[in-house]
Structure 1
């Protein structure tokens, strides 16, 4: 998201050196770069103007402490103001969902057709079930789009949420009221109501969703918007904000957009907090939105907290502790350990997901690698290990020419692939020894040699 801004800021930070105070003169070039990057990212002009004015106001006269360059000091001001623009100024509670009503807490989802609203209902249901331990019921009040009801039933099942059936012959208000009655009788904590989207904004649609809102009185009314819409997102946000008392925004498809201006524009136009961001197509690809952390990612500072959370969810803590103890005590890192590490990487979303959350300098260490190719390589390596005998996995030094041919045939690859994998395993062995001394950069340098395109 906003990759261009990250690159522009990095370039200017290098040129701003050696001054003790931020002034209009030494910040002019950087502010111009920020302004151009925001406009290119499809951020609305009023939001850009207000943002630049605030950064300029806060930056003027700020002293540059000895450990920073003027460029780094200005990036700090930009980061704080960008976090505020995305909602940090509203306080941490603003981005949280409210459940402060007699159960079930009702969440109404609104937005145009094609923004990923129904999939987002499934993602939100999974998030509430797993992260908040809520019993969730979903219902579709979309009686217009073919297969909308069936789609929600499918994603609700995948998310582990209950589903209330409806038919295209029913009226949306009646569907919502019947689902609410069912949720009360069956002690659901949360009811999520999916509503009809349209290809464009029309008056009838707004009247219908306003009627549903009036009938069930949701505690949360979330506007789902596609981050790739750019300027169109602003007009849509205005229309929905005028028709409904929105309580928050869900941004979808952030992973597919290098511009991402909607994240800044929609928040500015509606004045409502961004509560969630869709970061992948998978059902667990929904993140609670944190303005400060998102500002860090935009500015190339990475999102180490998100990386830690991914690790916490994906990594087997006991297995990791056992491996650390084994390496520390001088035990040999073998193919079973190597396969386990590859599996942990996959659980954490693959190479692309990991590198994306690292600060810019670590991303540069990845050397512009093709991460899709790296993930395919990981799967191939697992296949090769699976073709080995238990003895070969425990003692890879046993693997000589005849064994290599047998392993290659079993994995459906060339012998060269087996040789390459064995080299990568040896590099990982070396990396594990180095990591016992600590150091993220050591790990990234070792990974450069492991994956295709990272040399």
Structure 2
């Protein structure tokens, strides 16, 4: 999302670092470039102006001018200012009140509101809550069916609304339905419009009065840029939003909405959507987003993704198999499935500090379907072949390729990748085919355990 803005910031700061000594003139020149970069990223013009003015007041002060690393000091100031601009810190949902606590989802058509409703429900399940989904968009029949289908994927109850009901009737009855099913949270997917109108706002106002929601969350499309800011302002003035969820940040959005909404509406961004899958919803951390924009990476988010994707017990069991050299193709398949949970390789690499500066990375085209093909190849093997790859001869490779809809060359590549993984882990464990699990240090009676997740 922030690729262009990040590139420009890094170029500006590279020039600053190249200056032996910073003067008020070259700092102001750099800040003019920063302002242009923000405007090109579709940041609100007043937000961009105030942002640069605030940085200028600090950057031309004694703190920077007398610093041994003035360029780094300016970057530090910009990083702090960006973080403050986007809210300073993440803000959790306020799930306070008598159950079922209501979350009212609002927004225009096409913003991804229905999908986001299901994503949010899935995230609440991970936090040990039991949400009930309420399709209250009676003007678009497909919206009800869509939410029912999505809820089925995460095994959650859905109030059985119909297009013949009024939204107000659905709201009243859904509360009782949630109590009957022992749900502690009610997530209401309201109707959207192609544009803001008095009829939409009137309906949402009545739903707010009936439901008394703990949170009113606007789902806004980041791809619309400044329009998203205007939409947020209109909804906030009428309903009093408690938070914003920005969707489609994995697309070609220039990032202006993320940088402007908080400053214009004073309403926090609570979550960001990074894809169509139900697990593609993340808590918005202003400090981490600022680091990514400035090319510093986001290691904390990457660690959290890994902790969510990898089961600790499975990882320990896998380490034992590596030590005992019993890592099979079935284990290899399980590892592929866990890696897929982390998200796209491009997103993961983008979280690593300094990776955004590599031109080679930007040219890298990762075929996400390769994981699917690899899993299909392993699934086409017999149990014996998966547990002992050494028996897979030329005839078996042809059969596996035919069964998985791939070629013999692709089967060979997978087997080579599997062999390389085993060889690498064998070396890391001590160089032998079945290296011992522990090694004794000289002069000490303690053992050092090696643990290498795949």
Common fold by TM > 0.5: yes
Structure 1 match to 2:351: 357
Q: How far apart in 2 are the matches of 1:397 and 1:72? A: 55
| Change over 3 Å in CA distance of 1:396–1:96 after alignment to 2 | same
C-alpha contact 1:115 1:225 (8 A) present in aligned 2: yes
Shift of 1:182: 3.3
| Change over 3 Å in CA distance of 1:231–1:336 after alignment to 2 | same
Q: SS where residue 256 of structure 1 aligns?
A: coil
| Change over 3 Å in CA distance of 1:405–1:224 after alignment to 2 | closer
Q: Does 1:318 align with 2:313?
A: yes
Give me the TM-score of the superposition, normalised by structure 1.
Answer: 0.83
| Change over 3 Å in CA distance of 1:241–1:432 after alignment to 2 | same
C-alpha contact 1:123 1:284 (8 A) present in aligned 2: yes
Q: How far apart in 2 are the matches of 1:65 and 1:415? A: 65
Q: How many residues in Structure 1 have an aligned counterpart in Structure 2? A: 428
Q: How far apart in 1 are the matches of 2:217 and 2:280? A: 17
C-alpha contact 2:295 2:356 (8 A) present in aligned 1: no
Q: How far apart in 1 are the matches of 2:140 and 2:383? A: 54
Structure 1 match to 2:97: 101
C-alpha contact 1:345 1:351 (8 A) present in aligned 2: no
1:377 corresponds, among 359, 370, 373, to 370
1:170 corresponds, among 165, 170, 181, to 165
Q: Does 1:282 align with 2:277?
A: yes
Query: CA offsets, 1:132-187, max 9 Å, x none?
Result: x1221222332222332232222233233221222333332232122224334554
Q: How far apart in 2 are the matches of 1:433 and 1:31? A: 53
Q: SS where residue 223 of structure 1 aligns?
A: strand
| CA RMSD in angstroms, aligned pairs only | 3.0
Q: How far apart in 1 are the matches of 2:267 and 2:153? A: 30
Q: How far apart in 2 are the matches of 1:303 and 1:245? A: 32
Give me the TM-score of the superposition, normalised by structure 2.
Answer: 0.84
Structure 1 match to 2:122: 126
| Change over 3 Å in CA distance of 1:341–1:215 after alignment to 2 | closer
**Residues 166-315 of structure 1 mapped to structure 2, 5 A cutoff:** 166-184=161-179, 186-315=181-310
C-alpha contact 1:82 1:295 (8 A) present in aligned 2: yes
**Which stretches in structure 2 are left out of the alignment for 5+ residues?**
431-454
C-alpha contact 2:228 2:257 (8 A) present in aligned 1: yes
C-alpha contact 2:222 2:253 (8 A) present in aligned 1: no
Q: How far apart in 2 are the matches of 1:321 and 1:363? A: 35
Query: CA offsets, 1:383-408, max 9 Å, x none?
Result: 33444566655665665655544544
Q: How far apart in 1 are the matches of 2:65 and 2:429? A: 37
| Change over 3 Å in CA distance of 1:205–1:271 after alignment to 2 | same
C-alpha contact 2:17 2:72 (8 A) present in aligned 1: no
C-alpha contact 2:298 2:352 (8 A) present in aligned 1: yes
| Change over 3 Å in CA distance of 1:361–1:181 after alignment to 2 | same
**Which stretches in structure 1 are left out of the alignment for 5+ residues?**
438-455
